[in-house]
Amino acid sequence: MSTVPAPPVPRSEYPSPYLRLLIVVTVIVGLNYIVWRWLFSVNWDAWWIAVPLVLAETYSLIDSILFAVTMWRLRRRPEPPPAPEGLTVDVFITTYNEPLDLVLNTAAAAKLIRYPHRTWILDDGARPELAAAAEELGVDYLTRSASWTNKPRHAKAGNLINALLHTDGEFLLILDADQIPEPEILDRTLGYFTDDGMALVQTPQYFTNVPESDPLGSQAPLFYGPIQQGKDGWNAAFFCGSNAVLRREALMQLGITGYVKAVEDGVDRALRTAGRVIRRAQRAVPADQPEVAEALGSVRR
């Protein structure tokens, strides 16, 4: 995900021709099969069974085609360059009502991240005991100010927005309350931001209570692997809400863009309403008052 057009991707980073050949063959065979199913093999005498089945098969093919489009530009990024020195980083740990020991374990691990940074506990529950524990641990604590009273809070998003307004790090590492970061997480991610168009680096999640074999796919290797790589090739990678590093400038640009669009929409609605009012007034002007009609026409223009 970038705030400017992505730089050209070397051909070698795209998938092999064999993968693309497999994608083309799969789509052709799938379309051929689904056309045959609809035209020649549906048992209309038992349509209540046959039609739902072929609809499910059609949906499966559409899903497969969308996956194939994602994989078409699968991007395998090389190892990042070393993390530049001197960057300022804020590590945000978001929490609302999670157990204190859970939050503090995450905060203690975040404090051990090797790259210089500031660790913040963002407590949307405003718990005095957590504030005291954060001070004892030596990490920063932040909760919402009174200015949020009687305003939409927007849950975790609002918690992060509040933190953005009270911190100034160039980069943000966002963690949920139960996510233990590896000490080298910033060393392995900040190097990607030497590309000025890079806004987001999303890292995968690994569950410590899942066996290494992970027979059920709980670690989401498909999503954090090929799907994210494919979306990265289309310059559309997901931010999953946590365990990611973001460029503050990119977030602020998004905020400004959203604000400007909201203002434009408001002005557009006001102008349309004003136009309707003036048209009604023009229709009500007596025929013997052309100067009034002319004045209203000028206002409308």
For residue 11, pLDDT over 80 is answered with no
Residue 5: what pLDDT?
Answer: 53
pLDDT in tens, 176-227: 999 999 999 999 999 999 999 899 999 998 888 888 777 777 888 889 999 9
For residue 21, pLDDT over 50 is answered with yes
Q: Could you tell me the pTM of the whole model?
A: 0.80
For residue 6, pLDDT over 60 is answered with no
Reported as a pLDDT band with limits 50, 70 and 90, residue 284 is: confident
pLDDT in tens, 73-104: 999 888 888 999 999 999 999 999 999 999 99
Reported as a pLDDT band with limits 50, 70 and 90, residue 2 is: very low
For residue 293, pLDDT over 90 is answered with no
Half-sphere exposure of 143 (CA within 13 A, CB side): 16
For residue 129, pLDDT over 60 is answered with yes
Residue 209: what pLDDT?
Answer: 81
The contacts of residue 63 (CB under 8 Å, 6+ apart) are: none
CB 68 within 8 A of CB 27: yes
At residue 209, what are phi and psi to the nearest 5 degrees? -100, 20
- Give the separation between CA 106 and CA 70, rounded to whole angstroms: 34
CB 122 within 8 A of CB 156: no
Measured over the CA atoms of residue 115, residue 118, residue 123 and residue 124, the dihedral's sign is: negative
- Give the separation between CA 275 and CA 296, rounded to whole angstroms: 10
- Per the prediction, the chain carries an average pLDDT of 90
Closest CA to 93 of 103, 101, 82: 103
Say what percent of the chain tops pLDDT 70.
96
Residue 282: what pLDDT?
Answer: 85
For residue 169, pLDDT over 50 is answered with yes
The contacts of residue 42 (CB under 8 Å, 6+ apart) are: 50, 51, 54
For residue 9, pLDDT over 80 is answered with no
Closest CA to 122 of 106, 195, 136: 106
Residue 79: what pLDDT?
Answer: 86
Say what percent of the chain tops pLDDT 90.
68
Beta bridge partners of 140: 120
